């Protein structure tokens, strides 16, 4: 059962993050470095919130069923 590792960039404004906390935004669509579109539950981004929003490079690890195992900020 090999894990799939995907990397991508995210830039969400403070207003967008507030909408996530209110529940108005529940999913975040990202495009990985290799061009895949991935729909991620917004809750996974909450640990990376700053006053400016959520910005940076991220890595997600998916299991063999494409379920998110972990997400980490890499830059």
Give the pLDDT confidence score for residue 3 in this predicted structure: 80
- What's CA 10's distance to the chain center, in Å? 7
Which CATH number does the domain housing residue 19 bear? Answer: 2.40.50
In 3D space, the residue among 17, 61, 50 whose CA is nearest the CA of residue 72 turns out to be: 61
Percentage, residues of the chain above pLDDT 90: 93
User: How many residues are present in the chain?
Assistant: 75
In 3D space, the residue among 17, 21, 23, 1 whose CA is nearest the CA of residue 67 turns out to be: 1
Which pLDDT tens digit goes with each residue over 12-48?
Answer: 999 999 999 999 999 999 999 999 999 999 999 999 9
pLDDT tier at 9 (50, 70, 90 boundaries)?
very high
Give the pLDDT confidence score for residue 36 in this predicted structure: 94
Average pLDDT of the chain is 94
* Alpha-carbon span 5 to 74, nearest angstrom: 13
Q: How many domains does the chain have?
A: 1
User: 63 lies in which domain range?
Assistant: 4-73
């Amino acid at each position: 059962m090999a894990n799939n590792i995907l990397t991508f960039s995210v830039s969400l404004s403070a207003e967008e993050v507030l909408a996530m906390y209110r529940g108005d935004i529940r999913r975040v669509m990202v495009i990985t470095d290799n061009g895949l579109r991935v729909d991620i539950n917004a809750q996974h981004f909450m640990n990376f919130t700053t006053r400016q929003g959520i910005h940076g490079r991220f890595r997600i690890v998916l299991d063999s069923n494409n379920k998110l195992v972990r997400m980490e900020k890499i830059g």
